[in-house]
Amino acid sequence: MRKFKYADEKIGHTEIMIALPAMLLGVGILVLPKKLAAETMATDGWVSILAVGIVVIVISCGIAKFVSRFRESSFMDITTQLTGKAIAVVIMLLFGLVMLNVGSYQLRSLVNITEKYILAETPIEVIGLAFLLVVVYAVSGSRAALLRLNIMFFPFIIIIPLLVMLFALPDVEWGRVMPVFQTDFHGYIQGMKSSVLAFTGISILWFYIPHMREPERAPRAVAIGMSVATVLYITWFIFTLVTFGSGVTANLLYPSIELAKSVEIPGEFFERFELVFFVIWTMVLFNGMAMTLDITTLTLTSIFTSVSKRTIIYIVTPLMYFVSMLPRDIVELNRYGTYVGYAMLIYTCFVLVVLFVLSGIRKVK
Amino acid sequence: MGRRYFKNKNRQKDNPTETTNERTDFSEPLQTDLEKNLENLETILDEPNDLVIRQFPVRNSSHNAAIVYIDGLVNDDEVYNTALKNVQLFTEQADLPSDPDDMFETLHHSIISQADVETTDRLDDVLDNLLYGHTIFYLDGTDTVLIMDTREWETRSIDEPNSETVIRGAREGFIENMRINMVLVRRYIRDPNLRFETFQVGRRSKSNLVLTYIEGVVNPEFVEEIKRRIDTIDIDSVLESGYIEQSVEDSFMSPFPQLFNTERPDRVAAHLEQGKFALILDGSPFVLIAPVVFGTAMQSVEDYFDRWAIGTFLRALRYLAGFIAVFLPALYIALVGFQPDLIPTRLAISIAATREGVPFPPFIEALLMVMTMEILREAGVRLPTTLGETIGIVGGLVIGESAVQAGIVSPIMVIIVALNAIASFTVPQYSVAIGFRIILFGYMIAAAIFGIYGVILAYIMTNIHIANLRSIGVPYSTPFAPFSWRDWAGTVLRLPLPMMTQRPGFLRPPDRISAGNKGDSS
């Protein structure tokens, strides 16, 4: 009998396109302006974002093109074909390990902000647990549904920052754009180093593109998705800078949320708009976190094929929760985030290079 | 997923303990002897007093014949005019063959003037048809009988549908009679490709279920899938189409219905033409429609009868009302109890002033009022129509007013609960509105624990659930995700008629185009 085609678990190209901004922007938009403002003069940081953005778009399109060449339906199968079973298991395990830490970092970032702005009296452990349980509920469902969720929350990713920027217009001092291009070369490099951290999420491509219905449409979708993220980063960065100025931005704890705080909604319907902003932004953070946990689970299920997905979620989740509660303060958390971010990005590129070389040697079509 | 929890229960009941007179297997051939056949029938049915057996001799022959039917299920006049009278009168003139089998053939083809006649020689066929209102004609000496369709019983006349009233649109609603319901649909779609396929469901009720769709418009995969699911229905009786809905739906743990029901033939016709299918159950005025998506719940057939701007506005209004129906009390709890700083200062002060002296925290206050509202709603349904209106006045005015006067709840709370309840009734699909009323409590509890953070977590969970839900395989969250501009515009907005030229793409109809542009000169 023919399979009931509609109910399959394949992913469309829109899902891939939107998964990227959903993965990148969540934490990225909250932390990027502060780091970048400290390292570049005035609004020059946008050059760094743009440069990094272009490089990352090229890399991610490379991943998309590379993965979509294969007929296999999972990343594990692709690596096994190229490197053999043993090395594939190592690659997947490392991916799982890094992803676990990415998830912990995302969780703790959300928890810290929630505690600071929304629930001052609730212990962070409780805030984190509640959120993590919701993420577990999402990951327990089907993978296609998880990516559909990105699309359902995608309007918020675009509309909410645009709204904040629109209402911030009265406070903007365009004079702060000047002086332009006063940053020295070293400054740009430092800026790029920080911006790179906002783009680490591209490793999801390894795992989701093999599940696509039409993998050949992946590169274009990836390019569009990445461009949206880059453009949004740049506009958001410039807006934060021209509202607060370089010095203030670098010294604020969460400049992005402060930007939302500074805006005044006409009609005085919301007194504290940053709360509304962050509460809605929780959905975006949820998207990123859910994909992270999903991929952590996916790496392990593809290694231990006999263990059920649910069991693996039950093992991974407490670990992620435990690690997320380890950093003692915001400084430690930021350092942790930096390490994890670099690890993820370097590892992704490393895997790309290794697999690409191997596919060249083995002449896989 | 949930089915796993019920597995153990069924395992223990393998041994039938008591022996009764019940006979379940009737698959045996009929006898040639009339007396024996009739005796057999009487024994099986235990001689009920509505069983009519009329024995009479066939003239010019030595053979007896009998007519058997259940009184009340058949049209007596028809039985008399087409069978009894004909056999008794015309057999005098006709030259009947003496061999019983030949005689039976002659009777079948020349004498009995019933339009819908079948023959059978199986006992189970006889029983099924007899109990469904057919008349059985026996002839002594042959093991074949005639089954004549003489069904007719009292039905309600076609009435305005109570559960879905519209201002503009047809006033006809489905009734309990399947045949008439089929006619009502056919009158809207005179396409030769309109299909009606009949299934029998229910071990004991043996109800007729009709699957209807337009060949070439509906995706054949849906039809195959629903047929497969109908075949798996194995329950004693099907009293209402709700039984069918719950037997074939994708997830029985969901608060949202995955097949919608309607009493309106025009609504069914509109959905069939979009590429959906419908299930008509005999005995139920509620016809099921599937596959549906969340956006379908916010559509009323009336949207298409008025001009497009009105339809679009009303749909936007319904989405807003849906939001109020789910979120309002939870937001009240979260804002008043946790984040009063989110409310504009002057409003916050006036709310605080009205809450002066209220002894309960916002959650208890809201729960009290929402529960009262639910009780009133339920009481309004149970009571006779005239009394139901009184309940509304007594409940709404007296209880609300007194509660405020007594200082149990704040006036703001009364406004919120009233607005919330009214908003939930703007959702055209009642079963979805009830789903909203249920998840409302979840939102309130989440708000009571985590404030606005809890509300957003509850919202995310609802979305997770909807993203995972499917209706006959179609993701419930379509056309939001998987996203399609055209379907989105067609579901959330109501496009002007000249722009509605395609059927919804998410239903994958083989014939995509639903309207041409003959009048368009360009």
Residue-wise pLDDT for A324-357, tens only, equals 999 988 889 989 999 999 999 899 999 999 998 9
Of A149, A268, A282, the CB nearest to B344: A268
Average pLDDT over residues B8-18: 50
pLDDT of residue B358: 87
Neighbours of A170 (CB within 10 A): 9
CA angle B447, B453, B457 (to 5 degrees): 85
Contact A141 B464 (CB under 8 A): yes
DSSP B499: G
Task: Report yes or no: B469 and B256 within 8 Å, Cβ to Cβ.
Answer: yes
Contact B456 A6 (CB under 8 A): no
Task: Report yes or no: B143 and B100 within 8 Å, Cβ to Cβ.
Answer: no
Alpha carbon of B335: minimum distance to chain A alpha carbons (Å): 11
Residue B420 pLDDT > 70, yes or no? yes
Cα B481 from Cα B318, distance rounded (Å) = 20
Cα A122 from Cα A261, distance rounded (Å) = 22
Give the residue from A222, A198, A162 showing the smallest Cα distance to A24. A198
Contacts of B483 in chain A (CB under 8 A): 14, 151
Cα B56 from Cα B42, distance rounded (Å) = 18
Cα B460 from Cα A134, distance rounded (Å) = 8
CA angle A139, A143, A147 (to 5 degrees): 95
Q: How confident is the model at residue A294 (pLDDT cuts 50, 70, 90)?
A: very high
Q: Taking chain B, what is the end-to-end CA distance rounded to the nearest angstrom? A: 55
Alpha carbon of A7: minimum distance to chain B alpha carbons (Å): 5
Average pLDDT over residues B218-223: 93
Q: What is the pLDDT of residues B26-43, one digit of tens each?
A: 888 888 888 888 888 888
DSSP B140: T
A152 touches chain B (CB under 8 A): yes
DSSP B113: -
Average pLDDT over residues A55-63: 92
pLDDT of residue A323: 94
Contact B456 A283 (CB under 8 A): yes
Task: Report yes or no: B473 and A7 within 8 Å, Cβ to Cβ.
Answer: yes
pLDDT of residue A7: 59
Name the residue with higher pLDDT: B424 or B92.
B424
Average pLDDT over residues B160-172: 86
Enumerate the β-bridge partners of residue B213.
Answer: B195
Alpha carbon of A332: minimum distance to chain B alpha carbons (Å): 25
Alpha carbon of A334: minimum distance to chain B alpha carbons (Å): 24
Contacts of B471 in chain A (CB under 8 A): none
**Angle separating helix axes A85-117 and A330-362, nearest 10 degrees:** 150
Name the residue with higher pLDDT: B282 or B392.
B282
Contact A271 B342 (CB under 8 A): yes
Cα B256 from Cα B263, distance rounded (Å) = 19
A311 touches chain B (CB under 8 A): no
Of A130, A131, A148, the CB nearest to B467: A148
Contacts of B487 in chain A (CB under 8 A): none
Q: How confident is the model at residue A183 (pLDDT cuts 50, 70, 90)?
A: confident
Name the residue with higher pLDDT: A124 or B24.
A124
What is the bridge-based pairing of β-strands B145-148 and B194-201? unpaired
Q: What is the pLDDT of residues A96-117, one digit of tens each?
A: 999 999 999 999 999 999 998 8
pLDDT of residue B386: 74
What are B194's two structure tokens? 């309109």
pLDDT of residue A38: 83
Radius of gyration of chain A (CA): 21
Neighbours of B348 (CB within 10 A): 16
Alpha carbon of A347: minimum distance to chain B alpha carbons (Å): 31
Cα A177 from Cα A44, distance rounded (Å) = 8
pLDDT of residue B24: 74
Chain A CA closest to residue B345: A271
DSSP string, B422-484: HHHTTSSSHHHHHHHHHHHHHHHHHHHHHTHHHHHHHHHHHHHHHHH-EETTEETTTTTTTT-
Contact A275 B473 (CB under 8 A): no
Q: Percent of chain A at pLDDT above 70?
A: 96
Cα B171 from Cα B161, distance rounded (Å) = 7
Cα A136 from Cα A316, distance rounded (Å) = 10
Task: Report yes or no: B318 and B504 within 8 Å, Cβ to Cβ.
Answer: no
Q: What is the 3-state secondary structure (H, E, C) of chain A?
A: CCCCHHHCCCECHHHHHHHHHHHHHHHHHHHHHHHHHHHCCCCCHHHHHHHHHHHHHHHHHHHHHHHHCCCCCCHHHHHHHHHCHHHHHHHHHHHHHHHHHHHHHHHHHHHHHHHHHCCCCCCHHHHHHHHHHHHHHHHHCCHHHHHHHHHHHHHHHHHHHHHHHHHHHHHCCHHHHCCCCCCCHHHHHHHHHHHHHHHHHHHHHHHHHHHECCHHHHHHHHHHHHHHHHHHHHHHHHHHHHHHCHHHHHHCCCHHHHHHHHCCCCCCCCCCHHHHHHHHHHHHHHHHHHHHHHHHHHHHHHHCCCCCHHHHHHHHHHHHHHHHCCCCCHHHHHHHHHHHHHHHHHHHHHHHHHHHHHHHHHCCC
Q: Percent of chain B at pLDDT above 70?
A: 94
Q: Output the average pLDDT for chain B.
A: 86
Q: What is the pLDDT of residues B297-326, one digit of tens each?
A: 888 888 888 889 999 999 999 999 999 999
What stretch of H or E contains B119?
A: strand B117-120
Cα B427 from Cα B295, distance rounded (Å) = 11
Contacts of A5 in chain B (CB under 8 A): 221
Average pLDDT over residues A43-53: 88
| Interface probe with B: pick from A2, A118, A131, A135, most Cβ of B within 10 Å | A118
Contacts of A7 in chain B (CB under 8 A): 470, 473
Q: Tell me the residue type at A33.
A: P
Tally A–B CB contacts below 8 A.
105
Q: What is the pLDDT of residues B96-139, one digit of tens each?
A: 777 888 888 888 888 888 788 888 888 888 888 888 889 998 88
Q: What is the pLDDT of residues A218-237, one digit of tens each?
A: 999 999 999 999 999 999 99
Contacts of A271 in chain B (CB under 8 A): 341-345, 348
Cα A298 from Cα A285, distance rounded (Å) = 20
pLDDT of residue A361: 85
Instruction: Give how far the C-alpha of residue B44 lies from the chain's centroid of Cα atoms, to the nearest Å.
Output: 33
Name the residue with higher pLDDT: B81 or A71.
B81
A15 touches chain B (CB under 8 A): yes
Contacts of B336 in chain A (CB under 8 A): none
Most confident of A260-274, B35-49, B193-207: B193-207
Average pLDDT over residues B382-398: 77
Alpha carbon of A360: minimum distance to chain B alpha carbons (Å): 36
Average pLDDT over residues B471-487: 87
Lowest mean pLDDT among A103-112, A169-178, A190-199: A169-178
pTM summary value? 0.90
Contacts of B467 in chain A (CB under 8 A): 141, 145-146, 148-149, 152
